[in-house]
Each structure stands twice: as structure tokens, then as C-alpha cells.
A and B are shown apart, each in its own frame.
Chain A
Amino acid sequence: MNWKKTFAVVRREYIERVRTKAFWIATLLIPILFLGYVAIQVALSRKTSGQRELVVVDLTGKLYKPLAAELADTEAKQKKEASGSKGPHWNLVERPLTGDLDGTKEALRKEVLAKKISGYLILEPAKLEKESIEYYSTTVSDYIALSQLQSAMNRIWLRQKMAARGLPADLAAELEHRLDLKPFKVTEKGASEEKGAGIIAAIVFLILMYSTFFMYGYQVMRGVIEEKSNRIVEIIVASVRPVELMVGKIVGIGLVGLTQYLVWSLVAMNLSLPAFAGMMSGGDLGVPRIPVSMLGYFILFFILGYFLYASVYTMIAAPFNTDQEAQQLAMIPMVMIVGGIAVYPAVMNNPTGGMALFFSLFPFTASLIMFLRTAVSEPPVWQILLCVAILISTTAALAWFAGRIYRVGILMYGKKPTIPEIIRWARYSPGKVVQPEVKQAG
């Protein structure tokens, strides 16, 4: 390897890519889209906090008043806990029956459709005994409002039932308390409370790693094909060895990927993403604090996985002259990468099980799955080291094979080669590099 020449290739690959508009559009657009998504979430959660006109048809005659009090109470409590009001504000109106129940329902239905009221609640003794309350509205998917209404009704129902049996009212208040299951993640350094933020960060990173494998693997493939279809490759291999060109290209594009990550993390730090996230998740989930170890493993497994897939993509690209020709074989790394993401929920459920171990050591899913395991559990050090060793040796073998195909393939023009032909290329003798000494006179 001539590092000076290899560096010239790395430099070209890096600078030419980072200079393009496409790079900056992708780099800036993705965080903007992400922030936009968060903003929409925030906006939607604001919407649930709007006013709601709720008509209550109370056929029992003893539930309306407690319900109104209960909802007001819930709202007051929420206001005290979180600084900004989050939950919906209910304006309750009691409506007596006009005529029979069906007639009342019909009248109310029209009012809902005319947007005079948000919805109506029918409290029928017979249905209550069967443990159901009917709620009618144009939107029945607004989860926060519905669950608030439901739990308010449940509390009142419980209290009234107990009062009916003559039990003391304070017992009802006590029974309303539920037990919380708090998960703690046990690590070498002790135990720390897991609030879910770590898991969300792990998944976000996993998706990020997965999509960048695709993005940059594909760029390697395009780059190799471009050099052939541009007919520049022979000019270059007259100065640079194929293996140097290959390594330079892969490293250069990998650095572009790392640059993109760097820009993203700067954006994340400066655009106060935490504030956004805080607004969205409502306090309890907290700002996802990303542990340093997670970042470290992310970079490590990104680099290892990237080199592995980049070798596969190089191998696939070398024999072909157009993207279309390579498309069919490009399915292979795609299936491998998707495979890694497909098994992640199972691994997440049982990050120390046999399946998790298998996929974190199987070279083509290892980088994604081992990263996930380090994020959600604490795999034994030997497993991590074994995984790294497997990734490095598989990449070395693939790169060797890719190099052999590349060496021949980049100089082959014309018809699309068949797979047996490509495999034959790898067996071509590279020739003797050391040439027999010929005595030279003069």
C-alpha cells in the first residue's frame, strides 16, 4: 500500500462528496424533518388541551355532579404538576331527556355534527351494571381525553359502590392508589433507574445506523460503477493499485458518513433538541440522556459494519457497467441489513437469550444487533470482543475477495458477466509480482 496515493483517493472521494449540494441537503433536511416531526407532535398535543363541550345525559341522576367535580379536580392537579397546561378542559352540561332516549340521542347527534358540542355521554343504569358507559363524538381516537374521562368515571363509580355497601369513603381514596413497577437496569457499576429514554435513544441510533449502512454502502457501489462507466478507472489504476483505490474509496465515503453524524450532533446540541423533546414527552420521560458508552459503541459498530457492507457493495459493483445491471445483486446486502433490523424487537425482549447471541455474532447482523444489546443490556465482554473479531475477520475475507473481483472487474467492459464468470475472476492468477532478475548489461 502506498499511503500517499491512497490518501489522495480518500481526499478526492471525501471532498467531492462533501462539496455537493446533495450532501448538505440530506444532512440538513434529515434533522429538519425530524424537528418538524417533533413540532407536529407538540402541536397535536396542544390540540388535545383545547376546550371540550360535553353533554351528559345522566339517567341515574347521581353521577353528573361528582363527574364534573372529578374532572375539575384532575385538571387542577395537572396544572400543579406541570407548568404548562396539558390536558383538555371539559365544559360539562347536563341535559335531561327530551322525549325518549332515542329522540334525545338523535338531537344530540345533530348538535355534534353541527359542532355545537364536542360529544355526549350517556349514563344508563342498565349499561353501567354491565360496566359500560357510552361516549359519542366525531373524534373517538383522542387518547388522552378519553382515558381522562374513563378514569374519572371509574373513580366515581368505585366510590359510589363503596358508599352503597357502607364502606368508609377514605378507603376508596386509598384503593385508588396503584402500584408502579419501576425497572432498574443492573450494570457492572450498580443499578440505575431506566426511564425508557435510553431504550428510545437506542432504537433511534439503531435506525440511524441501519439507514446509513444503506446510504453509504449504496454510494460505494455507485462510486465504483461510476468510475467504470466514466472510463476513468484505467487512467487511475495506471497510478494507483486497485486495492488502494478500493480502500481509499471506502474510507473516503465512510468519513463522509462520520461528517454527517458530526453535523447532526452539532445541530442536535445547538437547536436545543432537548427542549423540544421535553415539551413533547411531558416531563416524566425526561430528556433522553445518551450515555457516552452508547455513543462509543455506536461509532465502533458503525465503522465495523460499514466496512463489512462496503466490501460487499464493492464486490457487487465491480463487474458491472451500470447501476441497473448491479441492481439485482444489490439485493444481497439489502436483505442482510434488513435482516438485522427485522430481528431487533425479539432481541430487545430478550437481549441475553440464545437468539440475541446468535444474531449478535452472525457477521451480517452483528453490528446492528450487538450495538442494540450493549444499549439495552450488558453483554459479557468476551461476547463483544468475539463479535468485533468476527466482524474484522469477515470484513478482511470479504475485502480480499472483493479486491480480487474488483481488480479484474474494473477493466472489463462490454457485456454483463454471469455469476460463474465473476467467481472465475477471483481465481485468476494475479501473476508473479516479483519478476525474475534479468542480467542487464550496461
Chain B
Amino acid sequence: METAIQLTNVSKAFGKFKAVDNLSLNVPRGAMFGLLGPNGAGKTTSIRMIMNITAPDTGAIRILGNPMDRAMQNRIGYLPEERGLYRKMKVIDHLYFLAAIKEVGREEAKKRIADWLDKMELGPWLNKKVDELSKGMQQKIQFIATIVHDPDILILDEPFSGLDPINVALMRDYFLEFRQRGKTIVFCTHVLEQAEKLCDEITLMARSRKILEGSIKELKHRYSQDLLRISMDASLEEVRALSGVATVKAVDGTFVVGLNPGTDRREFLRRTLERYRIDAFSQKEPELEEIYLDAVKSAGIEDRVIE
């Protein structure tokens, strides 16, 4: 598959602090790609390098098959986590300015801005100062600014932070629509549930490193092998004492049992049935969060907790 963004062994240090450590990733064209991880994992630095805001110390970055340069920069729309607007500027002038620095001609910009303002019902606010807009409206303006140059790739860093549920739904619709037009979206967040709903592929980062990658479906499948939900007449201690059990949690009168890697599920159930009565059992599909925590644990960097 053609790649939209490709990072090869990219590292970046600020003084002694290594912000990104040997990161490689491939974002396929047309994908909804999640770059996930807790705050301070190196997501924003990675994105800044993709955006050519900071340059990597080592490694290579290619955008749409080309080395990153200014022309490529104009083909990406970037909504940073730290985002704001000039408060004293008129909405329309502000959008013209942000279009101009993406080298969108005045006429073209006029048309697109008018379209979007119409779509978002912001027309009456055209000549108001940014100051006078509500926070939700300001975020819509920022979104228009992100896509005014009709980019091929959209990079969104915590796009839903500070939005109310209605606007979250609205934004999500725009993203999906964008994707339907064959564009690539990189979605960057520490809220894993959001990513789980939106993304097809993810890369998990922690402590400046990549610790997990793959499509959500495949990851869930991979991790669900070892996870069982069992309803049985035993105490927590008894379940824990069974051979092959790595973790056990009591949830709503049932047990969620994690098996040691390599333990055969049928064998485990057979052995358990000999000693206890099993009322029901099912294979449990893991939450992305559980996968994440597990991956962090096995990477030996668990002291950083997801918020």
C-alpha cells in the first residue's frame, strides 16, 4: 500500500532528554491512523518533526513518497494541541491570513472559506473579532484553518479536547467525510476510547518509544487469545491458584482470567471443569486500554500511568 507518512529510525533529543527514540512508522494512504500514548510519550515531538517544525537528529521522514520539504508542508493540515487564534483579528481576515501562509490564492481562499463558514453556520460571525466568539466557534474556525488548503493529510493532535459532545460528534462527521474523500488522517490522543472508535491502525508510544503497532482488529484478536470471562463456583483465591492463570479480576460476579502465554485454553477449561462447576464462559475482547497497559508492562516501563 502506498504510504502517506513514513518515519524511518527517527530520533530527537533536547539536550540530554531523548524526546523520540528510534521511531519508525508507516501511515498508509487513506487510513485513519492513531498515534497514541500518555502525555510526554513523544507524540507531539514526532508530529512536529513530521510537520518540519523541528528537524530530527537522525532518521528519515517521507511524506507522500517525498522527502519532507516546504511543498509537502503545504499538503498537510495540522491542528496542534496547543492552538489558539489572534484574538483581535476579524474572523474573515484571520482565515485569509492562515490561507495565505499556506499559499492559497485569495480567490480560492475566499470560495473555500465561504463554503465552510456556511456549512458550520458561522456566516454571521464573519466580520466579528475572534474575541467575541465562543470557544466552540473558535475551534471550528481553527478546523477551517486546518483544511482551507485542501490538504491530502490531516494531522489532529487531541482534536476533541475542550469540545462539548455535540461538537465532538460534528467534528467526527467532518473527519469521516474527509476520509471518504481518500484523505489520510493521523489522530493523536491519550484518550484511548476515542481512538478505539475512530482508528483502523494505531501506534502506541510510551517513554519516547514505540511499544505496539498494528490494526485495532488484529491487536484485539491477538490479545483476546489469553483472556477469558468465566462464571464459576469458586473464590478469587481458588481461581488464582489454578495452574496457567496469570491474572484474575472479579467483575460483576464473574472472573476475567488472563492466562499465561502458551497455556492451552481447552486444556485449561478441561482441568477447571474437573474441580469446579462452570456456569458460563466466553472469550473476552480486550479494551484498547488493557492492551496498552499490558504492552507497557511487558516493555518494562509501567511506572507511567495513563490519565
How many residues on the A side are at the interface (Cβ–Cβ under 8 A)?
37
Contact B2 A238 (CB under 8 A): no
**CB interface residues, B 67-114, toward A, < 8 Å:** 67-68, 70, 73-74, 76, 78-80, 82-89, 93, 97-98, 100-103
Chain A residue numbers with a CB within 8 Å of B203 are none
Which B residue's beta carbon lies closest to that of A239? B101
B62 at the interface (CB under 8 A from A): yes
Contact A235 B142 (CB under 8 A): yes
How many residues on the B side are at the interface (Cβ–Cβ under 8 A)?
43
A98 at the interface (CB under 8 A from B): no
When chains A and B are docked, how far (Å) is the Cα of A266 from the Cα of B197? 64
Binds B, one of A72-80, A109-117, A175-183, A428-436: A428-436
Chain A residue numbers with a CB within 8 Å of B85 are 230, 232
* Contact flag A435-B97 (CB < 8 Å), given A235-B142, A235-B145, A428-B14: no
Contact B100 A431 (CB under 8 A): no
When chains A and B are docked, how far (Å) is the Cα of A9 from the Cα of B15? 31
Which B residue's beta carbon lies closest to that of A4? B103
B240 at the interface (CB under 8 A from A): no
**CB interface residues, A 316-349, toward B, < 8 Å:** none
- Closest chain A CB from B272 CB (angstroms): 51
Convert A1-41 into 0s and 1s, putting 1 for each residue whose CB lies closer than 8 angstroms to a CB of B.
01011001101100110001000000000000000000000
Name A238's contact: one of B15, B53, B67 (CB within 8 Å): B53
**CB interface residues, B 26-82, toward A, < 8 Å:** 48, 51, 53-57, 60-62, 65, 67-68, 70, 73-74, 76, 78-80, 82
Chain B residue numbers with a CB within 8 Å of A442 are 2
Which A residue's beta carbon lies closest to that of B87? A230
Contact A424 B15 (CB under 8 A): yes
Contact A433 B73 (CB under 8 A): no
Name B101's contact: one of A5, A16, A226 (CB within 8 Å): A5
Convert A404-442 into 0s and 1s, putting 1 for each residue whose CB lies closer than 8 angstroms to a CB of B.
000000010100000000001000111111011110101
- Closest chain A CB from B300 CB (angstroms): 28
Which B residue's beta carbon lies closest to that of A442? B2
Name A440's contact: one of B54, B56, B62, B101 (CB within 8 Å): B62
When chains A and B are docked, how far (Å) is the Cα of A232 from the Cα of B68? 23
When chains A and B are docked, how far (Å) is the Cα of A240 from the Cα of B103? 10
When chains A and B are docked, how far (Å) is the Cα of A218 from the Cα of B112? 37
B12 at the interface (CB under 8 A from A): yes
B8 at the interface (CB under 8 A from A): yes
Convert A377-416 into 0s and 1s, putting 1 for each residue whose CB lies closer than 8 angstroms to a CB of B.
0000000000000000000000000000000000101000
**CB interface residues, B 135-151, toward A, < 8 Å:** 142, 145
* Contact flag A431-B83 (CB < 8 Å), given A5-B103, A16-B89, A424-B15: no
When chains A and B are docked, how far (Å) is the Cα of A226 from the Cα of B89? 13
Chain A residue numbers with a CB within 8 Å of B57 are 429, 431-432
A234 at the interface (CB under 8 A from B): yes
Name A411's contact: one of B48, B89, B102, B142 (CB within 8 Å): B48
Chain B residue numbers with a CB within 8 Å of A429 are 57
* Contact flag A239-B73 (CB < 8 Å), given A230-B86, A435-B68: yes
Contact A232 B84 (CB under 8 A): yes
Chain A residue numbers with a CB within 8 Å of B54 are 411, 431
- Closest chain A CB from B6 CB (angstroms): 8
Contact B12 A236 (CB under 8 A): no
When chains A and B are docked, how far (Å) is the Cα of A440 from the Cα of B56? 20
Which A residue's beta carbon lies closest to that of B81? A234
Chain A residue numbers with a CB within 8 Å of B93 are 15-16
A231 at the interface (CB under 8 A from B): yes
A227, A438, A442 — most chain B CB neighbours (10 Å): A438
A172 at the interface (CB under 8 A from B): no
A237 at the interface (CB under 8 A from B): yes
Contact B8 A438 (CB under 8 A): yes
A11, A431, A433, A436 — most chain B CB neighbours (10 Å): A431
When chains A and B are docked, how far (Å) is the Cα of A432 from the Cα of B54? 10
**CB interface residues, A 227-279, toward B, < 8 Å:** 227, 230-232, 234-240
When chains A and B are docked, how far (Å) is the Cα of A436 from the Cα of B55? 13
Contact B61 A413 (CB under 8 A): no
Name B84's contact: one of A8, A15, A230, A239 (CB within 8 Å): A230
Chain A residue numbers with a CB within 8 Å of B53 are 234, 237-238, 411
Contact B83 A239 (CB under 8 A): no
Contact B15 A236 (CB under 8 A): no
Contact B97 A12 (CB under 8 A): yes
Name A435's contact: one of B61, B65, B73, B83 (CB within 8 Å): B61
* Contact flag A231-B82 (CB < 8 Å), given A239-B73, A431-B56: yes
Chain A residue numbers with a CB within 8 Å of B89 are 12, 16
* Contact flag A240-B101 (CB < 8 Å), given A428-B15, A438-B60: yes
Contact B78 A238 (CB under 8 A): yes
- Closest chain A CB from B146 CB (angstroms): 8
Chain B residue numbers with a CB within 8 Å of A430 are 55
- Closest chain B CB from A15 CB (angstroms): 8
Chain B residue numbers with a CB within 8 Å of A240 are 101
When chains A and B are docked, how far (Å) is the Cα of A413 from the Cα of B79? 17
- Closest chain B CB from A274 CB (angstroms): 39
Chain B residue numbers with a CB within 8 Å of A4 are 103
- Closest chain A CB from B127 CB (angstroms): 13
* Contact flag A231-B83 (CB < 8 Å), given A8-B100, A435-B61, A440-B65: yes
When chains A and B are docked, how far (Å) is the Cα of A431 from the Cα of B60? 11
Contact A2 B80 (CB under 8 A): no
Which A residue's beta carbon lies closest to that of B102? A239
Chain B residue numbers with a CB within 8 Å of A237 are 53
Which A residue's beta carbon lies closest to that of B157? A234
Contact B55 A431 (CB under 8 A): yes
- Closest chain A CB from B201 CB (angstroms): 20
Contact A234 B80 (CB under 8 A): yes
When chains A and B are docked, how far (Å) is the Cα of A8 from the Cα of B84? 19
Contact B98 A235 (CB under 8 A): yes
When chains A and B are docked, how far (Å) is the Cα of A232 from the Cα of B257? 48
Chain A residue numbers with a CB within 8 Å of B86 are 16, 226-227, 230, 232
- Closest chain A CB from B11 CB (angstroms): 10
When chains A and B are docked, how far (Å) is the Cα of A86 from the Cα of B301? 91
Name B62's contact: one of A11, A15, A230, A438 (CB within 8 Å): A438
Q: Could you list 8 further interchain pairs (A-B, Cβ under 8 angstroms) beyond the known A226-B86, A230-B86, A238-B51?
A: A16-B86, A16-B88, A16-B93, A235-B78, A235-B98, A239-B101, A239-B102, A428-B14
**Shortest beta-carbon contacts, A-B, top 8:** A431-B55, A231-B84, A8-B100, A234-B80, A239-B101, A230-B84, A238-B78, A232-B84
Chain A to chain B contacts (Cβ below 8 Å), 21 pairs: A5-B101, A5-B103, A8-B100, A11-B100, A16-B93, A230-B86, A234-B53, A235-B83, A238-B51, A238-B53, A239-B73, A239-B98, A239-B101, A240-B101, A432-B56, A432-B57, A436-B60, A438-B8, A438-B60, A438-B67, A440-B62
